Amino acid sequence: MNEAKLNELKEALRATLAEQTRVLDHLIHVLSQTETIDPELKEITNTIVLMLQSVGVSVHSILRLTETIDMAIKDCFGICRTVSEMCINIAYIAASDIEVARRARAHALQKKFRDLSRYSDAADVNISVKSNVTPDASEIPGLREAIDMFTDKKGREIRDWATDSLDERIRKVAAVSRRASTSLAGSKFSIYRHSSELLHGTYFGVVYFWTSPTGAEISRQQFSEHWVQNHFVTIFTAVFFGVVGAVECCADRFELDQFDESIQKAITKTRVLLDPEFADG
């Protein structure tokens, strides 16, 4: 693919991601404005609205880092992993009963409190951070219960907010929306393996950017093609289907039919971008 075609594809993919941020904004607006007689559903939507906003922020960061074909895209993999996992969590909370949303909120409450006093003795180096003002847990409604929820029998902090694994969360989404679970599974598959290597700082994470999928070194001329067709397509796929999955699940759970047409149009457009032969078929 020549340079002009590569840039055309890059900009088309970036424009599609930008459209996804507008879909997120619309969903946030609808969920925030919807009045429901069920207070538990409102508690769920109030929880996921903040998370949807965070997804939008991360997608905008990816758009900034992909304006030009350069190595800034490396940091998109970590951001993209955040988008993918948060979309899974949004859909999981939306698809579950109220206790999952309450567990997410309790986790946040007790973790913010624990952050006021932290200690580490890694590698025989003692490090501690403590706030000048630490309120008593009993002074904050729900905090004592939240701390108990995330403390094991030996008094250690339980760090995972959810009792289900990431794959189990995706499976539970299927009970509400099979389409959403399929999209989320695709998002996770696209990014999880390589983002793990980059986030953990492995040697593979470095050479991944400078070699072809077969391990051969690539020239500067080949880098643009590698950047677009390998790295950016991977990032795009994870972000796009993560957002689609979150929106699909919310639309199905909260009966928001107005999103169905825009989702299907976006999916069809993406198929054509990534596989032009799909349009001919």
The predicted structure's pLDDT at residue 244: 97
pLDDT at site 276: 61
- Average pLDDT, whole number, for the chain? 91
Q: Which long-range contacts (CB under 8 A, 24 or more apart) does 196-204 make?
A: 196/81, 198/74, 198/77, 198/78, 199/77, 199/78, 199/81
Break the chain into its structural domains and give their ranges. 3-98+163-280
Q: Express each pLDDT in 163-221 by its tens digit.
A: 999 999 999 999 999 999 999 999 999 999 999 999 999 999 888 887 877 777 888 77
Q: Is the pLDDT confidence value at 37 over 70?
A: no
Q: Of 118, 105, 96, whose CA–CA distance to 176 is shortest?
A: 96
**CA 62 to CA 160: how far, in whole Å?**
26
| Bridge partners (DSSP) listed for residue 120 | 127
Across the range 29-47, mean pLDDT stands at 86
pLDDT tops 90 at residue 118: no
The tokens for 161 are 């907010």
For residue 22, the model assigns a pLDDT of: 95
Q: Which CATH number fits domain 3-98+163-280: 1.20.200, 1.10.10, 3.30.980, 1.10.3470?
A: 1.20.200
End-to-end CA distance of the chain: 22
Section 120-142 average pLDDT = 83
pLDDT at 85: 98
Is the separation of the CB atoms in 32 and 1 below 8 Å?
no
In percent, the amount of the chain with pLDDT more than 90 equals 69
State the pTM of this model.
0.92
